[in-house]
């Protein structure tokens, strides 16, 4: 990966500033509320950043992960117009209609991963159905939160 090769990145930046920014924001991982706040602040100032993201990983490491649902219901989510891969990890909360509506706007998602997530069966089905272009679904260590188990 080029992110560890500063000289190469500097040379590429001379060729195309657009390429550099697209490369830097190609793969975004958000694990803490502070990262989420900073990323939302960035895309609030420059919405074009969202269009450079191809892979988004959301994996809360905080003890209180309210920010995840806030982020997934964010008005910025539809700006991820080229997002193809969405990885969600360590999530077990009640999904709300607004979260489904926002996720449904990510129409180019081809790859969806759930790692150590908990949903009801109907929530899981709703999430999966929200992505019309989905070709690759990975579910690892799923917890069924349905009342009937």
Q: Is the model more confident about 31 or about 73?
A: 31
Mean pLDDT, range 115-131, rounded to an integer: 82
Question: How many domains is the chain partitioned into structurally?
Answer: 1
Domain contains 9: no
Mutual angle of helices 17-24 and 6-15, in 10-degree steps: 130
**Model pTM above 0.75:** yes
Residue among 32, 78, 29 at smallest CA distance from 57: 29
Domain contains 2: no
Q: Is the model more confident about 17 or about 41?
A: 41
Q: Which domain holds residue 92?
A: 27-144
pLDDT band of 55, cuts 50, 70, 90: very high
Domain contains 8: no
By the 8 A CB rule, do 147 and 117 touch? no
Helix (H) or strand (E) holding 98: helix 97-103
Residue 107 has pLDDT above 80, yes or no: yes
Mean pLDDT, range 131-144, rounded to an integer: 89
Domain contains 89: yes
Domain contains 19: no
Domain contains 12: no
């Amino acid at each position: 990966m080029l992110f560890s090769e500063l000289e190469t990145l500097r040379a590429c930046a001379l060729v195309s500033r657009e390429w550099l920014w697209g490369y830097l924001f190609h793969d975004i991982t958000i694990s803490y509320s502070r990262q989420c706040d900073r990323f939302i602040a960035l895309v609030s100032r420059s919405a074009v950043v969202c269009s450079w993201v191809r892979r988004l990983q959301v994996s809360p490491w905080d003890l209180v992960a309210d920010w995840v649902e806030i982020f997934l219901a964010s008005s910025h989510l539809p700006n991820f117009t080229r997002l193809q891969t969405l990885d969600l990890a360590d999530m077990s909360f009640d999904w709300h209609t607004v979260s489904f509506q926002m996720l449904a706007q990510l129409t180019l998602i081809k790859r969806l991963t759930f790692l150590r997530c908990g949903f009801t069966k109907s929530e899981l089905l709703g999430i999966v159905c929200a992505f019309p272009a989905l070709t690759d679904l990975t579910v690892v260590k799923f917890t069924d939160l349905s009342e009937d188990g």
